[in-house]
Structure 1
Amino acid sequence: MKTTVTTASLVLLLALPAAGASTGETYSPHVDNPYPTNVYWGDTHVHTALSGDAFAMGARLTPDDAYRFAKGETVRANGGEEVRLRRPLDFLMVADHAENLGVLPRLAAGDGSVPATEVSRHWTDALNEHPPVRDILLAEDLDAYDRGWQLLVSAKPAHGADYALDESFERSLWEEVIANAERHNDPGTFTAFIGYEWTARAAENKPRMIHRNVLYEGGPEEARQVLPFSRFHSSDPEDLWAYLEDYEDRTGGKVLAIPHNGNLSGGNMFALNTLGGQPFTGAYAKRRSRWEPIAEVTQLKGDGETHPLLSPTDEFADYETMGSFTAASAKGDKAAPEPKAQSKGPTAQQDPVALAAQSYSRSALKLGLGQEAQFGVNPFKFGMIGSSDSHNALSTTNEANFWGSNGLSEPSPYRAESRWESNAAGYAAVWATENTREALFSAMRRREVYASTGPRITVRFFGGWDYEPQDAMRPDLARIGYAKGVPMGSDLTQPPGESAPSFLIRAVKDPDGANLDRVQVVKGWRDSDGSLHEKVHNVALSDGREEDAGGQVMPVGNTVDVQNASYTNSIGDSELAVVWTDPDFNKDELAFYYLRVLEIPTPRWTAYDAKFYGLTDLPDEIPMVTQERAYTSPIWYSP
């Protein structure tokens, strides 16, 4: 195993195990750490049988199952197989849909708690006609599997029906959600957040998702004072923010919202107008920035960092691309912009480039610079995390141990061919002082977080004005990073004199995963004309590679044996570290910088399925190799 920078103390500093051992003693935090020394891994977006769409697609596992699984216990999956994580998570939020929370399991159970109406009787009958999900997973052939899939999916509309529920029913389910999280929350060892998903849609029309997950910092005392805010109340984010503000005013607690699936929003997630079609105002920008400090940028339904339409010169832009911009427009029928030609804002609502710019995170960060120039506040100033959006209660992102997006897509001989688009991602990494609700929430609020498509790559990223090259080799890198600058998610202000910002960077491979290919700095900026730009800098390359005169880099190589679903760590490095200074810095231009850390190529989950089930004739379009990655929260510069 190779490394660019190696010291024993470095490994201890960056790769400390985040989860503490359970001793039965009352947890007491360490008070002598002035800055975060541990990175905690978790998922803020897991659905269970309490979510109507999950139940309709075969989920029968409960929130209790989801928490036990996340903590490393063995559970029996929806299809009947035993499953567990190789390594437990440090935190989890079960984010079941607020809309008709818990209704479908009650209908199927026939316990009489849902009012008896024509609607409830219709869907009760439909659900009772469904075969067990195990029978579908064990179908005799692909056609039978697809028929079973269609039968179960036909009941998905049940989760949006009107069941004439009263407040007592909603209260009982919310109490159940709170109790589940409270039962599994173990400060210092495992954090269980109380929360849910607000499943709003723009114009009530798919695929125009503008969903947010609502995450509460506090416990039962605060959460019991409210009920979840659902799409049935409003699909306007401004109304959600008003609810969040009322919650904090009423309870003294803290809460935030996490947008996700911008890639499936049809240009609505990061549009430069309100849901009602009005242009942004400074007040709107301030509210959005206040309540949405982080965004989920990679998950089962595709990766949302960027898109080939938006970043045509970025060789790694087309990664697990899913959604509205993957057909003709992504194949070149619509001319892509030059890298430095993104306008100040979209001008044609049906232009796929403009709509994509309002759907992906990198372009949204750029659009935010334009808004900051106009209002003095950046509405799209968000940190980046990953989470799974699992609809089977199982948070699995390991390509070799991927249990699908819902009950019907748990392992079977058929899913690789019929559901290959699913992305085995992602996780949230949080730099915090301790594993508690308060510390993790504080880190999310200050955006000291990053996204991973699954591997637990450890990443440090600091910005300042006087880092020196030797700082990258220091065993006390974190101390130097905080002392001389600011961490990911923070702001740089006016430089001393004519200095350009320098960035202290280190990435360490997942101890159980693949070596690293490279570390890149992605820069976005707004020039004096108001145009928005981006550039990807290769700042640390494995195997001694260097850029050529044209800025190109030889590929790291590929050791993947698809037939055997295997690879070797004979290429790449285990660690990459560098101090990088922006060579094109202009102190008068708004800018942001974030890291993208790439692993060497590894087998995708489809390759593991093909090997396990002996699948030899899968269509060529199905990808068998992936190159997993991590994205840090940006560091912003404002003149």
Structure 2
Amino acid sequence: MRWEPIYEVTQGKGDGEAHPFLSPEDEFAEFHNWDKGDFGFEAKTPEMLPNEYARSALKLGLEQQAALGINPFKFGMIGSSDSHTSLAGTREENYFGKFSGVEPGTGEFRYDDDVVSDRRPDGDGGVQVKHWETTAGALAGVWARENTRKAIWDAMARKEVYASTGTRPVLRVFAGWSFTEDDVFKPDFATIGYASGVPMGGDMTAAPAGRAPKLMVRALRDPNGANLDRIQIVKGWLDANGVSQERIYDVACSDERAISDNNRCDRPVGDTVDLNTATYTNTIGEAALAAYWEDPDFDPSSSAFYYVRILEIPTPTWLAYDRVKLGSEIPAEGVLKHQERAYTSPIWYTPEG
């Protein structure tokens, strides 16, 4: 908590928000997971996974708080490129590679180069990770009061940050006890949020009688990128036995889709990707989405956290662009399209005492 207030949840070497083994009811958990091995020295086993993903760590933090009286995993979330090229680009259509030796035009080496080698004495390559398995990187979004080093540092220290998998959406969430459904659409949305609630990275305690957390979310697409598919709220909490649980709520769906009884958009957003040309269109999705949500399952005696995940419509990956622009032969296992996303830092609820 003192030395690691924020966590790099996503970057060029894969995404660490969630894993399908840990979150089997999350249909979007399988997103560039690097889960072959322990950086080449040991093959991955299921018991390792709970200690390696952000959502699981946030849940473990609630359990540790119940045991220790303090939550050691109360972190905000950011993304980074982790490229070694001195370039800040993270766009899939302009990916220069993780290393300078795998820049565009370097032929098959661009895909076959080892990012992680199999370092086991009797290794068979099963934990090897090739460059074609990287992503174009990720970004940190920071809600600072001004564009200065001090203001950005202060925002990171208070965890008012969010992670993007490489695009530049604008994402903001506030939680409070007294927001109304209209507040999210008011022009002074942020003023209301700070005055009557807490931003991402904040804390709520001692729920007023009969009240549940109310969240206001606004999301705006990357102005040069893809439309938005949906807004989701990810909740983690401790049950009556002190065991952490999780649930995902879709709270805004594009294209006039309804939210079904299982808290999901009633149908997928669609797919406009043309892999023959590595293009897509914004004829589906929305440029902006907003949501007001009150926790329908709130227990004021139970510790909890809430964070927002937004998904974009499907878009080509850098492998798809390479195939079209460079005429490259892409490995059969290569992911050619995906849904970029962003994650806010959580907001935590702790009962009084």
* Structure 1 residue 548, shift from structure 2 partner: 2.7
SS of 1:558's partner is coil
Q: Is the 8 A contact 2:231 2:253 kept in 1?
A: yes
More helix by share: 1
Instruction: Tell me the distance in 2 between the aligned counterparts of 1:544 and 1:398.
Output: 29
* Structure 1 residue 410, shift from structure 2 partner: 1.1
SS of 1:420's partner is helix
Deviations 1:523-543 (A, max 9, x none): 001112111101111011100
**What's the counterpart of residue 292 of structure 1?**
4
Q: Is the 8 A contact 2:248 2:263 kept in 1?
A: no
| Structure 1 pair 519–546 and aligned structure 2 pair: CA distance change class (3 A) | same
Instruction: Tell me the distance in 1 between the aligned counterparts of 2:70 and 2:94.
Output: 43
**What's the counterpart of residue 311 of structure 2?**
598
Which among 295, 301, 304 is matched to residue 588 of structure 1?
301
**What's the counterpart of residue 164 of structure 2?**
452
Q: Is the 8 A contact 1:559 1:567 kept in 2?
A: yes
SS of 2:182's partner is helix
**What's the counterpart of residue 523 of structure 1?**
235
**What's the counterpart of residue 464 of structure 1?**
176
**What's the counterpart of residue 425 of structure 1?**
137
* Structure 1 residue 353, shift from structure 2 partner: 3.3
2:198 is the counterpart of 1:486: yes
Which among 82, 89, 102 is matched to residue 396 of structure 1?
89
* Structure 1 residue 414, shift from structure 2 partner: 2.4
Which among 499, 505, 508 is matched to residue 217 of structure 2?
505
Instruction: Tell me the distance in 2 between the aligned counterparts of 1:546 and 1:620.
Output: 36
SS of 1:520's partner is strand
| Structure 1 pair 416–565 and aligned structure 2 pair: CA distance change class (3 A) | farther
Deviations 1:456-506 (A, max 9, x none): 100110000111111111111111111110000000111111211000110
* Structure 1 residue 325, shift from structure 2 partner: 6.1
Which among 57, 68, 73 is matched to residue 380 of structure 1?
73
Gaps of 5+ in 2: 113-130
Instruction: Tell me the distance in 2 between the aligned counterparts of 1:618 and 1:438.
Output: 44
Q: Is the 8 A contact 2:175 2:213 kept in 1?
A: yes
**What's the counterpart of residue 635 of structure 1?**
347
So what's the TM-score if we normalise by structure 1? 0.50
* Structure 1 residue 409, shift from structure 2 partner: 1.7
Instruction: Tell me the distance in 1 between the aligned counterparts of 2:251 and 2:5.
Output: 27
* Structure 1 residue 415, shift from structure 2 partner: 5.2
Instruction: Tell me the distance in 2 between the aligned counterparts of 1:368 and 1:420.
Output: 34
SS of 2:143's partner is strand
- Single out whichever of 541-550 and 599-608 deviates more from structure 2: 541-550
2:137 is the counterpart of 1:443: no
Instruction: Tell me the distance in 2 between the aligned counterparts of 1:477 and 1:415.
Output: 50
Letter in 2 for 1:375: L
Instruction: Tell me the distance in 1 between the aligned counterparts of 2:145 and 2:156.
Output: 12
Letter in 1 for 2:290: A
**What's the counterpart of residue 270 of structure 2?**
557
Instruction: Tell me the distance in 2 between the aligned counterparts of 1:547 and 1:530.
Output: 30
Instruction: Tell me the distance in 1 between the aligned counterparts of 2:108 and 2:227.
Output: 31
**What's the counterpart of residue 7 of structure 1?**
none
**What's the counterpart of residue 319 of structure 1?**
31
Letter in 2 for 1:595: V
Q: Is the 8 A contact 1:386 1:427 kept in 2?
A: yes
CA radius of gyration, larger in: 1
2:73 is the counterpart of 1:360: no
**What's the counterpart of residue 535 of structure 1?**
247
Instruction: Tell me the distance in 2 between the aligned counterparts of 1:379 and 1:416.
Output: 40
Instruction: Tell me the distance in 1 between the aligned counterparts of 2:233 and 2:307.
Output: 6
Gaps of 5+ in 1: 1-288, 327-349
More strand by share: 2
Instruction: Tell me the distance in 1 between the aligned counterparts of 2:257 and 2:248.
Output: 17
Letter in 1 for 2:182: Q
| Structure 1 pair 504–550 and aligned structure 2 pair: CA distance change class (3 A) | closer
| Structure 1 pair 307–565 and aligned structure 2 pair: CA distance change class (3 A) | same
| Structure 1 pair 608–416 and aligned structure 2 pair: CA distance change class (3 A) | farther
SS of 1:442's partner is helix
Instruction: Tell me the distance in 1 between the aligned counterparts of 2:217 and 2:61.
Output: 25
So what's the TM-score if we normalise by structure 2? 0.90
| Structure 1 pair 604–504 and aligned structure 2 pair: CA distance change class (3 A) | same
* Structure 1 residue 357, shift from structure 2 partner: 0.6
Instruction: Tell me the distance in 1 between the aligned counterparts of 2:193 and 2:263.
Output: 28
SS of 1:374's partner is helix
Instruction: Tell me the distance in 2 between the aligned counterparts of 1:508 and 1:541.
Output: 13
Instruction: Tell me the distance in 2 between the aligned counterparts of 1:307 and 1:551.
Output: 20
Letter in 2 for 1:365: L
2:172 is the counterpart of 1:474: no
Letter in 2 for 1:482: Y
* Structure 1 residue 393, shift from structure 2 partner: 1.3
% identical equivalent positions? 53
* Structure 1 residue 352, shift from structure 2 partner: 3.2
Letter in 2 for 1:614: G
* Number of equivalent positions: 327
2:119 is the counterpart of 1:406: no
Deviations 1:550-598 (A, max 9, x none): 4443110000011101000000001110110010000011100000010
Instruction: Tell me the distance in 1 between the aligned counterparts of 2:209 and 2:202.
Output: 21
Instruction: Tell me the distance in 1 between the aligned counterparts of 2:2 and 2:262.
Output: 42
| Structure 1 pair 527–325 and aligned structure 2 pair: CA distance change class (3 A) | farther
* Structure 1 residue 351, shift from structure 2 partner: 8.9
| Structure 1 pair 447–571 and aligned structure 2 pair: CA distance change class (3 A) | same
2:269 is the counterpart of 1:575: no
* Structure 1 residue 603, shift from structure 2 partner: 0.7
Which among 64, 86, 91 is matched to residue 371 of structure 1?
64
Q: Is the 8 A contact 1:455 1:628 kept in 2?
A: yes
| Structure 1 pair 396–445 and aligned structure 2 pair: CA distance change class (3 A) | same
2:51 is the counterpart of 1:301: no
2:347 is the counterpart of 1:609: no
